[in-house]
Structure formats: C-alpha cells, structure tokens
C-alpha cells in the first residue's frame, strides 16, 4: 500500500498516518520529521533547512526530493509507505512520479483531509495550548507568525497538488473536521470499498437473476 496524505497544517495528517501505519504495517515517511531530525543532528541539510522551517516557509524542492528518494530506498519502505507532508509542491509531485515510475511502483491513493480554514487556526492554537499544559516541547514553527506562513504556503504551493492528483484520478477527499474516529473510518471506507470477487466495486445483480439454487439473488452482502 502506497499512500499520500494531503492537508494543511493542523488537518490531522500525523494522527491519521499513525493509524494507517498500524493497520497496513507500512512506514510513515514524514518529511517534516526527517527535516527536524536533520536540524537536530546539524547535518548539511539540517543547517540549510533550519531557519526556513522556523519561519514556516518551504524547504527547496531539490533538498526534500533527495531526502525522500533516499528514504524510499530503505528496506522498511518496501512493504509500502504513507507520505505525510510530501509532496508539498507540484514539482515535488512530478519528481515523486518519476521516482515511482523508475521503480515500477504506483500510488494506491492520495487522500486529502479537507478542513475548514476558518477553524484551522483555532484548532492549531488549541493543540499548542494542550501541549503547553502537558509540558510537551513546542516546535520552533509553532507560533502565530510561522503558523500563518505555513497556511499561506499551503494555499499557494500545496493546494495545487490536489488538482494534480485529481487529474490523475487518484484523489480521494475525506472530511477532516470530523472526529478522529470518524475520519479514520472514512479513510478506511475510501481504501477498502466493498468489492465483488473481481475486486471491482460490487454491482447490484440484474433484476430477477437466479442463483444455482434457483433463488433470486439479493444484494451482495458487505464483508
């Protein structure tokens, strides 16, 4: 299973990615986490990314693409992966397509968590307040100024990525404002639509069609 989770900061991508990791036994590849680790370890990439990230701006495409290209080569990603926070620009999406093509791989789905932007800032502010109350460390970009920049970057550079995948017919949209449980259930429904023996969506049998016992078939039962 190879998935992408798209959505603005605060949409719940990280939480849902964790659940998908458990469910499908795939790895979560979060470019934000990888870049934060690089900053912490003061690697050349980390030194380049540190200030850009703190300001809430996007790290250059070539830097992020190189990190992802290396990471998906690793053994634990062979079983599948869920990309969280990547691609964030159309050139990154194009680079990912080239990477997957070279390996003969394809994406199973791109899931967009759709959220009400008006409520998003409040949601993020609440998350920051909760983390502060629990004594958890905040990220350097968890401040109102950087948050606004992160949302601006999403609107300008990442929102067009949904159009890119919509054109390819792989985009699935889920209401990200629902409860965590409901969002998980909706993602599960998107990934496991009820299917017939062919694997294609189940169809209603032709009216009056009879089965081997001579009885009229009903609707296929959902698993």
Which residues are catalytically annotated? Answer: 13, 88, 127, 139, 150
Q: Residue 15 CB, nearest distance to ligand AMP (Å)?
A: 13
20 forms part of the interface with ligand AMP (CB under 6 A): no
8 forms part of the interface with ligand AMP (CB under 6 A): no
52 forms part of the interface with ligand AMP (CB under 6 A): yes
Q: Residue 65 CB, nearest distance to ligand AMP (Å)?
A: 8
CA-wise closest residue to 95 among 62, 70, 71, 72: 62
Helix (H, G, I), strand (E, B) or coil at 83: strand
Are 11 and 123 a contacting pair, CB within 8 Å?
Answer: no
Give the integer Cα–Cα distance in Å for 63 and 57.
14
Segment contacting ligand AMP (CB under 6 A): 52-60, 99-107, 190-198, 213-221? 52-60
Give the integer Cα–Cα distance in Å for 61 and 58.
8
| Strand blocks (E) in the chain | 2-6, 27-30, 81-84, 109-114, 171-175
110 forms part of the interface with ligand AMP (CB under 6 A): no
35 forms part of the interface with ligand AMP (CB under 6 A): yes
Among 150, 151, 161, 165, binds ligand AMP (CB under 6 A): 150
Q: Residue 107 CB, nearest distance to ligand AMP (Å)?
A: 16
Give the integer Cα–Cα distance in Å for 145 and 74.
36
Q: What are phi and psi of 14, to 5 degrees?
A: -60, -45
53 forms part of the interface with ligand AMP (CB under 6 A): yes
- The b-or-e profile of 61-80 (16+ CB within 10 A means b, else e) is bebbbebbeebbeeeeeeeb
12 forms part of the interface with ligand AMP (CB under 6 A): no
Question: Measured at CB, which residue is nearest to ligand AMP?
Answer: 32
Interacting residues with ligand AMP (CB under 6 A)? 9, 31-32, 35, 52-53, 56-59, 64, 85-86, 88, 92, 141, 150
């Amino acid at each position: 299973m190879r998935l992408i989770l798209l959505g603005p900061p605060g949409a719940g991508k990280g939480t849902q990615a964790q659940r998908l990791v458990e469910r499908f036994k795939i790895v979560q590849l979060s470019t934000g986490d990888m870049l934060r680790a690089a900053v912490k370890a003061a690697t050349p990439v980390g030194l380049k990314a540190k200030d850009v990230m703190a300001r809430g701006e996007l790290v250059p495409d070539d830097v992020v693409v190189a990190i992802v290209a290396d990471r998906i080569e690793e053994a634990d990603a062979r079983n599948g992966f869920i990309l969280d926070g990547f691609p964030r620009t159309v050139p990154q999406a194009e680079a990912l397509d080239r990477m997957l093509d070279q390996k003969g791989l394809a994406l199973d789905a791109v899931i967009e968590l759709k959220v009400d932007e008006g409520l998003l800032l409040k949601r993020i502010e609440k998350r920051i307040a909760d983390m502060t109350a629990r004594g958890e460390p905040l990220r350097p970009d968890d401040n109102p100024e950087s948050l606004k920049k992160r949302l601006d970057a999403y609107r300008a550079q990442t929102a067009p990525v949904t159009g890119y995948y919509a054109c390819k017919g792989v985009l699935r949209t889920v209401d990200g404002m629902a409860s965590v449980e409901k969002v998980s259930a909706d993602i599960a429904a998107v990934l496991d639509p009820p299917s017939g023996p062919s694997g294609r969506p189940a169809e209603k049998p032709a009216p009056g069609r009879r089965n081997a016992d001579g009885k009229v078939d009903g609707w296929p039962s959902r698993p």
